[in-house]
């Protein structure tokens, strides 16, 4: 997720930059973006003057809280990590976390 850099704190525009390529791990239980694609996405954000706001992924078969792997691989401490659950009875289908220094803190999500 990215947004245009602005001088106020109001969020005016979000741009979703999804991964277009296949899972670099070729795994059904773990995902990693191809490093070249990640570099390309960050170059695009820089060129378009977008700020990196967050990352999203799903936990299709488990609770949508950060896993040990999510915490170990959280390389962007200023980003919000959104974890989605496609389970039909999930109490919170979308949750957000700040992950830094090996700890995860849940963030409030407010619809506007």
Q: For the whole model, what pTM was predicted?
A: 0.79
| Closest alpha carbon to 86 in 48, 57, 55, 107 | 57
> DSSP code of 77?
T
Per residue in 16-64, pLDDT (tens digit) is 777 776 778 887 777 888 888 889 999 999 999 988 899 988 998 889 9
CA 24 to chain centre: 17
Q: Which CATH number fits domain 52-112: 3.40.50.2300, 3.30.70.60, 3.40.140.10, 3.40.50.970?
A: 3.40.140.10
Per residue in 61-93, pLDDT (tens digit) is 889 999 999 999 999 999 999 999 999 888 899
CA 25 vs CA 28, 34, 62, 87: distances in Å: 9, 9, 20, 24
């Amino acid at each position: 997720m990215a947004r245009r850099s602005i001088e106020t704190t109001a969020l005016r525009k979000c741009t979703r930059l999804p991964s277009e390529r296949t899972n670099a791990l070729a795994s059904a239980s773990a995902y990693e973006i191809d490093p070249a694609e990640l570099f390309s996405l960050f170059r695009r954000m820089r060129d378009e003057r977008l700020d990196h706001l967050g990352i999203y992924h799903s936990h299709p078969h488990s609770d949508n809280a950060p896993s040990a792997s999510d915490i170990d691989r959280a390389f962007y401490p200023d980003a919000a990590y959104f974890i989605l659950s496609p389970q039909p009875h999930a109490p919170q289908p979308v949750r957000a976390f700040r992950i830094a220094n090996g700890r995860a803190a849940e963030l409030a999500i407010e619809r506007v």
